[in-house]
Structure 1
């Protein structure tokens, strides 16, 4: 029997909390609009979304309101703007009440949603709008100046603008708008022609009533393989490219999530804190789509930085679910208010996006009393590929493959390695993307014979549980030995005085590369000598950082992933500058 046959025997099949048959892993709906429509009707009187500001000001929308307004927005797109099915509509905003209206309305219109990071610079916006061919942008008013600087160089024809205070109670809305515009100076002046999302909904509502339009007709011809979302990825390692996720990809991934959380989900009763941005695939699928499907209440945090921004959302609502990344959980655990008054109703925390440190997982369970169930996925897989069974999570593990998903660990030649050996994780399943938008060569590199090559180094144990070792691109090669930054960072996390760290590889004449560690202190008394002594005791010589550099903070993506490439570039650019300076002195 070959090694690959051993993997295909699915040693993890006995690890599921319930037996799962292949015929259970199905989409369940013809399209995402069908799912949205059913949930809206089933939970019409319940609150669907609440935006909670750092000071506690808030606004909410019920399921019936989300349904009615997203229907009206769909009519606006199709009838007022004249969009055809399949037209790309970019939505560029943080977590707020306008997001589900714009996103659901776009899907109901039969258009393709282009999730866009609101923190993008002008050039990044120009690239994404040009690459996607977006004809409409729905954007927060705080970013209109950036859009104005590039819009003439894009195919964008229509702009719809919203505010953080959209659909808040009138008095609260007025106060917030005044503070944002006049006190914080957060809303820039611009000369763009734009329609407010409130006006767009009003126009769509009028057309819907006057013209006897059936919104369901817009999506009636959608097939499961048709594109629903263009989710951009790769911006931290190269040119950003759009993963085309179909209605079927997202619906099946939600079904997979349903099957593994069935003992913990309470339809119509759950309340989730959404601090991760919904324009990111993790929160988009899990928080926005899945919890809407289950009739949950979504408490939206527009920005979790600083972490105190989450306090009112956690303290003022009966939250029992939370999704996050290692840095978010670590930041919460370092807050006095969180430790003194941890959320008593919390039953499950879900982690993904980046490696969860064991020390963080242990502290979370001690403080909160519930486990963090770490999972694993990519934008290209909608995103879930692996998960930890909630009742028996394993630390330092991403768990087992999602139902209906095949996972293998392969070497450089694409051959399966033996259990326990590290190699690249590849996966096949119904949640895998259709391909990269207009990039056939990139698609062929990543999708081979139906297998998604993730670029992550992992290993599988005898029970079928997987462990991520690191990103192939982040691996450090020291005198022929592989050093994985995650391992060194986990070692540093064991030091109580360390808040967080990031390890990168720098060029070295003797060994090829050496690890350097960037460290944020929790205790100002921390020294390089303490860190060096700890690493000497816990790491082999070639794994120990050559330098420890203290910083006030680490550069991160909006989701909270540390940008190792920026840290590496910082040192490399400094070295080049120093070399040039030396040469200039010598020449002089």
Structure 2
């Protein structure tokens, strides 16, 4: 572990921007492709000046170090400068996903105790009314006129809180993950190592900066690159931008990759200067991975992490994807890659004892970017952080070469007739079947088996034949893993991050659960 990860780096992450303004002030720093009036670029010197003004305004408005400031903003210059200004002022950023609704925002704003919400006019109708919350509209007037610009970011220790990042809440009310300046610095360092950031990088942000994509903002700044911002994702536009904007890197979740592949025009070829398509966030379907590996000439990188230890616990490098091109049957393409330097992983059984290679158990992690805990939830923190180890709630195994294979979420494990069935392994088979467009597997109460493996499917062309589905599964799965019940729905319920809400499926099929 190097000195930067051990705390030698200055505490406040906003210092990365100030450093860029000193060393390469005229380089492009942020280009807002959807700014009112047309694309707008700010240099490192210009963005630093605006962030200094805004941080001074926040301070003059009474925002003190440690106060929480919520951000409800689309990908935009306003998001970037507000996030960095909150950091520079020593406050705590609370990014809110614009795809959520008023009840979600009400919970998050109340739970975090936010002193100020910075949003935009188009989203004002989703903001909870009443209470003492102050609201500033970033697209009307920046709250910086009454203050003096900050000459330098406020001193912050590495372990001081920088952000509250709300989890997706697939199993209950979202919890706020406490990430420190050290956490964000560490992720930036790891991103530079895994993705090889350079000063001439042009990183395209089409996924929300409020979640995974936001962790690539700082490493781009640290390297001296340019952040291209799109307000929302359009697959066809993205395919064109990779060429016209001379993009060198992009972050996508697997569903976005599928949409991008479907939108590629005939004759499209990956640009020579494009270096990496980085994906994470959810399992990727095998056919999508194969097609993407071919379309992007193996220039893919995957990682495994979670908001409690963001982004980089393991990585499946570009060299691994290139190997997949050479060896189509290589099983490593189904893995999450190898453990990264500075990270420890352990696979343990239900009693907490380590298991041998090839045997599944819960994935535990110890890493410098691990959260400080859950905001206001000491019991949940104690259950998740035990003896210095993060209990990820994921089930997986390490193979003989050290590749991590994530099998499922621990809470999605089904116990049927005393045997463990991981929903994900059944879903992977279902998604390969003709007539199945989307799939989720849950356990439902069964008088004989305790739980019955139950498939909830969205039909593709020629679908809705449950017996044909079960027959196809019997050819590929052990008998106890074959769905005992098949239900067809028009679509699967998903949260704002695209994850299937299995609790809603269970409730719909068995309201008494």
TM-score, scaled relative to structure 2: 0.89
CA-atom RMSD, angstroms? 2.7
Q: Which residue of 1 aligns with 2:410?
A: 472
The match for 1:487 among 414, 420, 425 is 425
CA–CA distance in 1 between the matches of 2:494 and 2:44?
Answer: 34
Shift of 1:91: 0.6
The match for 2:200 among 250, 269, 273 is 269
CA contact (8 A) 2:16 2:221 kept: no
CA contact (8 A) 1:26 1:255 kept: no
1:219 aligns with 2:157: no
CA–CA distance in 1 between the matches of 2:336 and 2:312?
Answer: 11
- 1:253-293 alpha-carbon deviations (Å, 9 max, x no partner): 2212222333xx3x22222232221111x2121x2222222
Q: 1:340 to 1:538 in 2, by over 3 A?
A: farther
Shift of 1:456: 0.7
Shift of 1:554: 3.1
- Name the structure, 1 or 2, with higher relative contact order (CA <8 Å, separation 6+): 1
Q: 1:55 to 1:453 in 2, by over 3 A?
A: same
Aligned residue for 2:182, secondary structure, equals helix
Rg (Cα) greater in structure? 1
- 1:330-349 alpha-carbon deviations (Å, 9 max, x no partner): 222233x3565354343322
Q: 1:273 to 1:214 in 2, by over 3 A?
A: closer
Aligned residue for 1:269, secondary structure, equals coil
CA contact (8 A) 1:53 1:309 kept: no
CA–CA distance in 2 between the matches of 1:144 and 1:540?
Answer: 52
Q: Which residue of 1 aligns with 2:477?
A: 539
Q: 1:231 to 1:135 in 2, by over 3 A?
A: same
Q: 1:570 to 1:55 in 2, by over 3 A?
A: farther
1:126 aligns with 2:125: no
- 1:422-463 alpha-carbon deviations (Å, 9 max, x no partner): 111111121111111122211111111111111111111122
CA–CA distance in 2 between the matches of 1:283 and 1:369?
Answer: 23
- 1:47-92 alpha-carbon deviations (Å, 9 max, x no partner): 333344599964443333321111111011001x122111111111
Q: Which residue of 1 aligns with 2:314?
A: 386
Q: 1:44 to 1:554 in 2, by over 3 A?
A: farther
CA–CA distance in 2 between the matches of 1:565 and 1:52?
Answer: 38
Structure 1 unmatched ranges of 5 or more: 1-20, 164-195, 577-588
Structure 2 unmatched ranges of 5 or more: 322-331
1:503 aligns with 2:441: yes
CA contact (8 A) 2:53 2:150 kept: no
The match for 2:190 among 252, 256, 269 is 256
Aligned residue for 2:14, secondary structure, equals helix
Q: Which residue of 1 aligns with 2:324?
A: none
Q: Which residue of 2 aligns with 1:50?
A: 31
Shift of 1:309: 6.2
Q: 1:42 to 1:509 in 2, by over 3 A?
A: farther
The range that moved more, 134-143 or 46-55, is 46-55
CA–CA distance in 2 between the matches of 1:509 and 1:316?
Answer: 60
CA contact (8 A) 2:303 2:311 kept: no
Superposition map of 1:137-216 within 5 A: 137-147=117-127, 150-153=128-131, 155-156=132-133, 158-163=134-139, 196=140, 198-201=141-144, 203=145, 207-208=147-148, 214-216=150-152
Aligned residue for 1:561, secondary structure, equals coil
Higher helix share: 1
Q: Which residue of 2 aligns with 1:235?
A: 169
Q: 1:550 to 1:517 in 2, by over 3 A?
A: same
CA contact (8 A) 1:54 1:311 kept: no
CA–CA distance in 2 between the matches of 1:491 and 1:54?
Answer: 44
CA contact (8 A) 2:443 2:452 kept: yes
The range that moved more, 438-447 or 39-48, is 39-48
CA–CA distance in 1 between the matches of 2:252 and 2:3?
Answer: 31
CA–CA distance in 2 between the matches of 1:234 and 1:507?
Answer: 26
CA–CA distance in 2 between the matches of 1:99 and 1:299?
Answer: 13
Superposition map of 1:406-445 within 5 A: 406-445=344-383
CA contact (8 A) 1:333 1:339 kept: no
Aligned residue for 2:334, secondary structure, equals coil
Count of residue pairs the alignment pairs up: 500
Q: Which residue of 1 aligns with 2:326?
A: none
Shift of 1:357: 2.6
CA contact (8 A) 1:56 1:312 kept: no
CA–CA distance in 1 between the matches of 2:399 and 2:344?
Answer: 15
Shift of 1:321: 1.6
The range that moved more, 372-381 or 121-130, is 121-130
Q: 1:395 to 1:411 in 2, by over 3 A?
A: same
CA–CA distance in 1 between the matches of 2:482 and 2:41?
Answer: 50
Q: 1:331 to 1:566 in 2, by over 3 A?
A: farther
Superposition map of 1:279-298 within 5 A: 279-280=210-211, 282-285=212-215, 287-298=216-227
TM-score, scaled relative to structure 1: 0.79
